[in-house]
Amino acid sequence: MTNEQHTAPVEEKPARKKIILSGIQPTGIFTLGNYIGAVRNWGQLQEDYDCYYFVADLHSLTIRQNPADLRKQTLEAFALLLAAGIDPEKSLVFIQSHVHNHAELGWILMCNSMFGELSRMTQFKDKSAKHADNVNAGLFTYPSLMAADILLYQADLVPVGQDQTQHLEFTRNVATRFNGLYGDVFRLPEAYLPKEGAKIMSLQDPARKMSKSDPNPKARISILDDEASILRKFRSAVTDSEAHVCYREDKPGISNLMTIYSVVTGKSYEAIEDEFDGRGYGDFKTAVGEAVAEELRPIRENFARLMADKKYLEDVYKMGAERAQSISNRTLTKVRKKVGLLAKPF
C-alpha cells in the first residue's frame, strides 16, 4: 500500500438535492396559463432539484366530473406533462390516486385541520359560489389533501401561483401543529417563486385568469391548439383602443399579451415596446400568435406520438406510482405510528 492511498481524502457525500413537488388537475387540456405559470417551469427545474410531479385526479373530484371524460383527461394530462418536457428518467411523475397514501394521510390531516382555518380559504369561498349546487365536503377539506400531497414526500419547495399561497400557509400550519403534538415528522415546505411565474389572463376578459374550464374557448389557448386557431384567438383578444403597445396597469389586455410574448421570446418589455413602436395592435397580435404557436408546436407533436403509444404511458405511470408509493410509505408509516394506528399486518 502506498502513502498516497493512506492519505486519500474521504469522499464527501454529495449535498442532497432539494425536493420540489407540484400537481396539476386533469380538468381539461392545459392552457397557455398552466404552461407558462407552471409546467414550463417544472421542466426547467429538473436539473437542479429532485422533482415530483403528479396529475391531481383526486382533487378534480371536488367538482362534478363526467367519469369517462375524467379517465380520458387524466391520461391526457399525464401525456401532456411528458410532452411538455417532464422527463420520467429525471423526475418522479405519477397519478395521485394511484398512490393510496395521499388519501390516507389526507384523512389523518383532516383530523388535524380546524374548521375555522378551512373556512377562511378563499378558494373554497370562490368555488362554492361558482358551484353552488355541489358544495361538497371535499371542496371544503381540499387543503388537507393538498397538505398530504406535499408532506408525504417531505417536499422542501412547492412552486405556487398567487392563488395557492394561502393553501401552502395552511399546509405549514397543519405540519407545525402535527409536529408540535407528535414530534418532528414533517419538513415544513417553502414557497418556490419561479423566475418566470407570470399569471396569464383570459384573452376575452383580462381581469380573470385564463382557465382550462372556461366555457368560452376563445378565452383560452389550449396547448394543443393548432397554429391557425392560436392566431385567430390572439387576433380576437380583447385589448383597448389606444393602439400603443406598452405595459401599463390600465391596459390589462395588451399587458397580458406582452407578458406572454416576453416569456416565450425572452424579450424584455422595453425591447417589445421598441419593436412595436408606431405599429398597430394587428402586427403585435400576429407576432404573439406566431411566437406562441412555435413554442407549442413540439408539445403538440410529442403529445400525438405519446397518445399513440398507450403501453408506454402505462409503463411510465406504473413505474411512477410504485416509486411514489415506496417513497411516501416512509412518512406514512411514521405518521401512523405517531397517531396510534396499529401497524399494518401486510
Catalytic (active-site) positions: 127, 209, 212
Q: Answer yes or no whether residue 164 interacts with ligand AQP by CB under 6 A.
A: yes
Nearer to ligand AQP, 29 or 108 (CB): 29
Residue 181-210 contact track with ligand AQP, rule CB under 6 A, x = bound = ------------------xx--------xx
Which residue stretch of 36-44, 273-281, 305-313, 329-337 sits at the interface with ligand AQP (rule: CB under 6 A)?
36-44
**Minimal distance, residue 193 CB to ligand AQP, in Å:** 12
- Contact between 33 and ligand AQP by CB under 6 A: the answer reads yes
Q: Which of 25, 41, 101, 239 binds ligand AQP (CB under 6 A)?
A: 25
**Do the beta carbons of residue 123 and residue 142 sit within 8 Å?**
yes
| Binding of residue 262 to ligand AQP (CB under 6 A) | no
The verdict on 229 binding ligand AQP (CB under 6 A) reads: no
Looking at the Cβ atoms of 158 and 272, the one nearer to ligand AQP is: 158
CA end-to-end span of the chain = 50
The widest CA-to-CA distance across the chain, in whole angstroms, is 83
**Between 219 and 245, CB nearer to ligand AQP:** 219
Let me know: does 338 contact 109? Beta carbons within 8 Å: no
Q: Binding segment for ligand AQP among 99-107, 158-166, 242-250, 297-305 (CB under 6 A)?
A: 158-166
Count of H helices and E strands in the chain?
Answer: 15, 5
Burial class (CB in 10 A: 0-12, 13-18, 19+), 174: buried
Cβ 214 to ligand AQP, closest distance in Å? 7
Task: Please tell me whether residue 60 adopts helix, strand or coil conformation.
Answer: helix
Which is it for strands 50-55 and 190-192: parallel, antiparallel or unpaired?
unpaired
- Nearest Cα neighbor of 180 from 106, 101, 108, 112 is 112
* Alpha carbon distance 15, 12 (integer Å): 9
Beta carbons within 8 Å of 157's beta carbon, 6+ residues apart: 18, 19, 20, 21, 49, 189, 190, 191, 192
150 belongs to the binding site for ligand AQP (CB under 6 A) = no
Q: In the complex, what is the shortest distance from the CB of residue 168 to ligand AQP, in angstroms, rounded to a whole number?
A: 11
Binding of residue 37 to ligand AQP (CB under 6 A) = yes
Would you tell me which residues interact with ligand AQP (CB under 6 A)? 24-25, 27, 31, 33-34, 36-38, 56, 161, 163-164, 199-200, 209-213
